[in-house]
Chain A
């Protein structure tokens, strides 16, 4: 068993925004353990997309090509990758921790009698292997997870844990491979992709965002944070539970299922900072967190924080802004 295989996600020929972060994680692990790094791209007529990785430091790019891989299905992707892994015997198989990875990577690992270490944020070298760090209790506690037993070892990497711009340049050849797939092996039928509404609010253009979370307690309290947004000339945004409850429209949601923003100032009010929210805002230039729980993960990414009751703190900030 040798090498690191990074599975690179694409849709309609465009790489997933976290795909290159997975390659960077692979390159770093490969460098530490002196292992060659391979990439795999799955799809139908996928060679041109695979070619977009040819300028990076990789030992080879596998273009796993089959008409049954045109649209993603967990059965198709699992069978195709199972065959690739069985043939090439990588020691590590890495994924960016995307919604698609969550949908099939645990199945793939199970098919090979292994367990995926999901959503890892970093790794430490331990002998000729690695220990992965992942978060428990929505970011409140960290855990070291070790691979035991035989390779291959499967891991998915949290969005933002590695920087895509740290990718090492080089040159790599694309090798096309056609897996053995039959239509009857694919049990789910994916239909069209769609969006529910046109976005009227483009949060990504806002310079300042005030974002509200569960701490607001009641929809009647939304004006408390609206006033702060008005005082700062900010757009109002929210974490997922607020939009799920219909307290603010979905188009104002920040996070993995909403918009990804990076304003110069992001003020998180009553948001604990679940990872699904953090990935949507942690690139902001300055982050302010207001929360009653000093252990809330939002303080991990905050530049400035106030620990306290938002219903006292927010009006006090509005006052201070007026002075």
Chain B
């Protein structure tokens, strides 16, 4: 089974974010980066399927030079090779433009299964996987907890709302977006890290794949949200803050 896992590099989860002066994107010069968490679960799902059914896992990542680190980590965890679409930033691309680039980069690959996280922690459109399926003419399912594969089809466990689930069957090739947390993530072994250095990373220039903007929506401005609720925030020593909070809950909110 040939499995492509589309991964994205995003700012670390606890980053203190600042909007740049033009209001076009965050100031990302000093940030630390990590794999988009849902994509880490997609990679894990891909590696587990390979262990069960054999085949190959190919990591696919669009991003700047710094994304090489995330690609190396995917290789160290067990991906067999990678495709790096080199671009200034993938962060602000619109999801249709980006999906078209990913589809083009995969033209020669003919995967049986494409996996990706259900959404990115930066833009959070939650669309790239679904759009990629449509662009490539593949059936898909989203928010997947578990995948059972046979030769030419898969049965997946899809999460619905309010604690409901549903199994869905579909033929291969297909695309799935993977839910976070359904399984445990592995760590890269020392051997894995060593091996990763020798694994193939095919680099493709974004400019060879067409535009990353489909020209249908435009991210016009970003800004820190205004607080809509009049929150009372207590800081200072924990003891004082706690005393103030309990007093407010007793005598102002009157919920105790």
Contacts and interface: CB of A to CB of B under 8 A. Distances in A.
Partners in one complex: yes
B204 interface: no
Contacts of A192: 166-167
A225 to B, nearest CB: 14
B163 A199 contact: yes
A60 B124 CA distance: 33
B72 to A, nearest CB: 24
B108 interface: no
B140 interface: yes
A302 B227 CA distance: 10
B248 A194 contact: no
B202 interface: no
B182 to A, nearest CB: 7
Interface residues of A, number: 87
Most buried by B among A149, A304, A316: A304
Given A99-B161, A106-B127, A319-B239, A194 B166 contact: yes
B242 A320 contact: yes
A299 B135 CA distance: 40
Contacts of B80: none
B102 interface: no
Contacts of B94: 115
Contacts of B255: 208, 264-265, 285-286
Interface stretch (A32-40, A140-148, A165-173): A140-148
A265 B256 contact: yes
A286 B248 CA distance: 11
A303 B233 CA distance: 8
Interface in B238-256: 238-239, 241-243, 245-246, 248-249, 253, 255-256
Contacts of B123: 136
B235 interface: yes
Interface in A116-154: 116-119, 131, 134-149
A143 B242 contact: no
Most buried by A among B11, B238, B246: B238
A143 B167 contact: no
A313 B241 contact: yes
A134 B16 CA distance: 19
Contacts of A135: 124, 225
Contacts of A145: 217-220
A298 B143 CA distance: 24
B95 A141 contact: no
B254 to A, nearest CB: 9
A178 interface: no
Interface in A293-313: 293-295, 299-309, 312-313
B19 A317 contact: no
A290 to B, nearest CB: 9
B134 A306 contact: no
B126 A194 contact: no
Contacts of A219: none
Nearest to B179: A257
B164 interface: yes
A104 interface: yes
Contacts of A199: 163
B21 interface: no
B242 A317 contact: yes
Interface stretch (B1-9, B43-51, B52-60, B168-176): B168-176
B96 A110 contact: yes
Interface of A: 74-75, 98-100, 102-104, 106-107, 109-111, 113-119, 131, 134-149, 187-196, 199, 208, 232, 240-241, 244-245, 250, 256-260, 264-265, 285-286, 288, 293-295, 299-309, 312-313, 316-317, 319-321, 323
6 contacts: A137-B122, A189-B169, A302-B233, A303-B229, A305-B234, A308-B241
